[in-house]
Amino acid sequence: QDLVLMVLLEDGSMNQKTLASALDVEQATITTVAGNLREKGLVERGTLPGDGRVSILSLTEKGRERAQGVSEIWSSLEDRLLVGFDDPERKNAAAVLKRMI
């Protein structure tokens, strides 16, 4: 669930298909996770301006605060894990870590 929040924080509102693709998961998984996040008041569903048929997910203020907190925790963890690496190594390792989560 936190990964969904982090993607929405970084990339902004998006439809569930795009979100599923960004996280490399099935759309059904995103549907379930989005429902749980809506129940917790962390995301809201709206429609795409100009095309009311397309449903999009957006962070609520509560969701934005949670995503920012999670992002700070991950950033701190990355910093600790990557001590002693030079910049190119840090970037490669960070990319691998993001793919793992």
pTM for the full model?
0.76
Residues 87, 22: Cα–Cα separation, whole Å? 25
- Write out pLDDT tens, residues 10-60: 999 999 999 999 998 999 999 999 999 999 999 999 988 888 888 899 999
3-state helix, strand, coil in the chain (%, to 5): 65, 15, 20
Strand partners of residue 51: 48
Phi, psi of 37 (to 5 degrees): -70, -35
Classify domain 2-100 by CATH number: 1.10.10.10
Residues 60, 53: Cα–Cα separation, whole Å? 21
Interhelix angle 2-11/16-23, nearest 10 degrees = 110
| C-beta separation of 42 from 5 below 8 A | yes
User: Domains of the chain: which residue ranges?
Assistant: 2-100
Neighbours of 92 (CB within 10 A): 12
- Write out pLDDT tens, residues 54-92: 889 999 999 999 999 998 998 888 888 888 888 898 888
